[in-house]
Amino acid sequence: MPLEQYRKKRNFQKTTEPAGGAEPNPSRKRTKLPRFVVQEHHATSLHWDFRLERDGVLVSWAVPKGIPPDPKRNNLAVHVEDHPLNYIDFAGEIPEGNYGAGGVSIWDQGTYEVVKWSDREVMVDLHGERVEGRYVLFQTNGKNWMIHRMDPPQDAGREPMPERLEPMQAKLSKGLPRDQQGYGFEFKWDGIRALAYISGGRLRLSSRSLEDITNRYPELRELGGTVGARELILDGEIIAVAEGGRPSFERLQGRMGLTSEADIRRKMKEIPVGYVIFDLLYLDGHATLEVPYADRRRLLEELKLKGRYWQTPPYTPGEGTTTLEASKQLGLEGVMAKRLDSGYQPGRRSDAWLKIKNHQGQELVIGGWLPGEGGRSGRIGALLVGYYQDGKLVYAGKVGTGFTERMLDRLQALLAPLRRATSPFEGGVAPPRKAIFTEPRLVGEFEFSEWTASGQLRQPSFKGLREDKDPRSVVRETPP
Ligand code: MN
C-alpha cells in the first residue's frame, strides 16, 4: 500500500502535514516534467528532505548535510517512507510531540528528468531554482544511500572550504592609531579565540592552536542549524559574562578545561558562554580572506547572526576615541583597531590589526606566595610573580587582588606540592622576607597600570590561570 508507512507514523488530527488523498494529484498533466522538492527540516537534528515525484507519490530521502554543491563530496541520504504528492508544497511547523516535530521550509523546488532509475540507483537531472545539474543517489547499505553531484559545481569559481585556518592576530599598540579614519574599531573581548566552520548545518569550533573544541560549548551548536545550508567560516571570541554583564576570562576558566559531557552539561547552567562574532573568512564556496575588512564586515552583518548565545556586535569605522571611551565605561579590556582596507592574514600578527588595552596585561610565572594577614593568615595573601629574561626568572612583584575565594583554594592546592626552600627568582628586586617559594610551573594572566622604573608591576591584579602556557615562554611584553 503506498503511503501506508507515512500514515502510520503520523496523527493527522495533530500534525499540520497533509494526509494525502488516495488519488494522484489530478491537476498535473502527464506531459509535464515530474517535480522535485528539497525541504529544510529543523527537526531534533537538522536535515534536508529530498523528494522526487514518481508513480503518484514522493520518493524521499533525508539528507543530514544537504544537497552537495560539489562533486568532491558525497553526502549520506537516508531513504525514508514515500510521502503524498501534496507534501511537495508543505512548509510550516510540525507541532511538538509529533513525528518530525520542528520547522519545515522549502529550500528548493523544480522539475527533473530521469536518467536512470533502479531499486539501488537513481540518476536525475535537476532543474531547480537553486540547484541545476545531474545527481546520482545510490544505495550503500539498506536505508543508507549516498547523494553525489555528477556535474562540476554550478559555481565554476567555487573553492573548497579551508579546513585549518589560524586566526589573525593583532599587535599591541600603546594608543589609538593617528589616522583613525583608516580603521574600524571593535571592543576587545576577554575570552578565547575560536573559528567556527559551518557546513551542512553543522558547526565545528577550532581554537587558536587548531584544537577541535566544538564539544566543550554545546550552547553554540545551534548556530550551525541557524545558518542552514550556507557555508561559512566565522572568527570570534568565546566569552563568559560575569555579574554586571562584563566578559570575564576568570569566569570562562570554569568552562575551558572541561571535556567530559556530564561536567560540561552541569557547568553550562552556572556559566553559560557566548560567541561574539567579528569576522567572516569564507562564504558559500568562496574564501573572503582577500576581501577588505570593511567589506567582510558588511557581508558578515548581512548574515544577521544573532541568537541567545551568539551575536555580531557592530564595528565603528573612524571612531576610535569614542569606542575606546565606551570600552572604559563598560569596564572592557580595550579596543581593536582594524585597517578598513586590510585582508585577513591567517596566523599572522599583523599591524593591520592593533589592540589598544585600557590596562596593561600579560602572563607571568608564579614563583611563590606571601601569607595573608588577619582572616587570610596562613593562606595566600599575594602571589609572587616574574618573567624570564636570558634564562633567568626575574621578580616582578606581588599580586594581592583579583582572586575569588574559590580561586584562592585552587591556587593553594596547586602550589602546595610545588613548594621549595630557595627562591626561584634570580634577578630584579628581592622578593619579600616572609615569602614562601615554589617551583615556577604555574602561569597566570595579570593586569596592571604600568611597569615601574625598577621593573615592578604597579597596581597589579590577578585575571586567571593560563594552564595552556609554558612558563619558559613567559617574557616581559613591553621592554623597559
Ligand atoms: Mn524530515
What is the pLDDT tens value at each position of the chain, 480 positions in all?
Answer: 778 899 999 999 899 999 887 555 555 555 589 999 999 999 999 999 999 999 999 999 999 999 999 999 899 999 999 999 999 999 999 999 999 999 999 999 999 999 999 999 999 999 999 999 999 999 999 999 999 999 999 999 999 999 999 999 999 898 999 999 999 999 999 899 999 999 999 999 999 989 999 999 999 999 999 999 999 999 999 999 987 778 888 789 889 889 899 999 999 999 999 999 999 999 999 999 999 999 999 999 999 999 999 999 999 999 999 999 999 888 888 999 999 999 999 999 999 999 998 888 889 999 999 998 876 677 899 999 999 999 999 999 999 999 888 899 999 999 999 999 999 999 778 999 999 999 999 999 999 878 888 889 988 999 999 887 889 989 998 776
The pLDDT score that the predictor gives to residue 253 is: 84
The pLDDT score that the predictor gives to residue 458 is: 87
Question: Residue 151 Cα, ligand 1 centroid: separation in angstroms?
Answer: 26
Question: Residue 47 Cα, ligand 1 centroid: separation in angstroms?
Answer: 7
Question: Residue 24 Cα, ligand 1 centroid: separation in angstroms?
Answer: 22
Burial 7-24 (b: 16+ CB within 10 A, else e): eeebeeeebebbebeeee
Classify burial at 245, counting beta carbons within 10 Å of its beta carbon; exposed 0-12, middle 13-18, buried 19 or more. exposed
Question: Residue 169 Cα, ligand 1 centroid: separation in angstroms?
Answer: 42
Q: Per residue in 156-211, pLDDT tens?
A: 999 999 999 999 999 989 899 999 999 999 999 989 999 999 999 999 999 998 99
Distance, first Cα to last Cα, the chain: 84
Query: How far apart, in whole angstroms, are the C-alpha atoms of residue 96 and residue 103?
Result: 10
Classify burial at 179, counting beta carbons within 10 Å of its beta carbon; exposed 0-12, middle 13-18, buried 19 or more. exposed
Could you give the residue numbers annotated as active site?
188
Count of CA atoms in the C-beta half-sphere (13 A) of 211: 12
Question: Residue 33 Cα, ligand 1 centroid: separation in angstroms?
Answer: 24
The pLDDT score that the predictor gives to residue 450 is: 80
CA distances (Å), origin 251, targets 25, 42, 188, 240, 256 = 60, 33, 17, 6, 9
Classify burial at 193, counting beta carbons within 10 Å of its beta carbon; exposed 0-12, middle 13-18, buried 19 or more. middle
Question: Residue 103 Cα, ligand 1 centroid: separation in angstroms?
Answer: 10
The pLDDT score that the predictor gives to residue 377 is: 72
Question: Residue 218 Cα, ligand 1 centroid: separation in angstroms?
Answer: 23
Q: Per residue in 14-41, pLDDT tens?
A: 999 998 875 555 555 555 899 999 999 9
The pLDDT score that the predictor gives to residue 373 is: 81
The pLDDT score that the predictor gives to residue 23 is: 54
The pLDDT score that the predictor gives to residue 375 is: 67
Q: Residue 236: count other Cβ atoms within 10 Å of its Cβ.
A: 27
Q: What are the structural domains of the chain?
A: 4-149 (no CATH), 169-357 (3.30.470.30), 361-473 (2.40.50.140)
